[in-house]
Chain A
Amino acid sequence: QQPVQSPQAVILREGEDAVINCSSSKALYSVHWYRQKHGEAPVFLMILLKGGEQKGHDKISASFNEKKQQSSLYLTASQLSYSGTYFCGTESPGSARQLTFGSGTQLTVLP
């Protein structure tokens, strides 16, 4: 079953922060985050493997609450280059390597 992402879309001004949430009804082994720009392939951002794990890259970070089966992606001081559609992909125990993607969150950063 597809994880649920929220919000579906968000519009920001450069320098503002955003949070994208991903929630699953199934137990999770890992959560993957990807960003896709229009007309391009999805590009990997980060994997979270452990409950409560947090990872960060530059001004983009994420958390994973294994008990709640939720993950959040945090974008701070957003830049124009952050625009795109963000997907979470979830992997469940017993379904190794089968990533199920959410419907995506369209992020637009305006100057």
Chain B
Amino acid sequence: DAGVIQSPRHEVTEMGQEVTLRCKPISGHDYLFWYRQTMMRGLELLIYFNNNVPIDDSGMPEDRFSAKMPNASFSTLKIQPSEPRDSAVYFCASSRGNSPLHFGNGTRLTVT
């Protein structure tokens, strides 16, 4: 089991640029979650999917953020345009039913 795979591990970009974060969940998992972690706000749930369908996106901070899950093995989180306050570690996690969340190693985003 390869675990949840996120890419890139680190992303440095300039304000105003588009950023795309990628996630491959564990095979067979039907839930996928995007979390953001900062020192100030901790781990925040941004959006989650069930069977590729977005269930709750109330945690998405602004319209600049969007997420898609075109199939069971791939999801993206896009920020356009990016701002310095978006700098954080973004985690993707997946689970099957009520099983625990398995987190990826995260993408550390720095917006200058």
Which residue numbers of A lie inside 8 Å of B, CB to CB? 2, 32, 34, 40-44, 47, 87, 89, 97-104
Contacts and interface: CB of A to CB of B under 8 A. Distances in A.
Given A41-B91, A41-B106, A99 B42 contact: no
Contacts, number: 42
B30 to A, nearest CB: 10
Contacts of B98: 97
B48 A97 contact: yes
Q: Interface majority SS on B: helix, strand, loop or mixed?
A: strand
Interface residues of B, number: 20
Contacts of B106: 41
Contact of A41 (B31, B33, B48, B105): B105
A89 B103 CA distance: 14
B49 to A, nearest CB: 10
B43 interface: yes
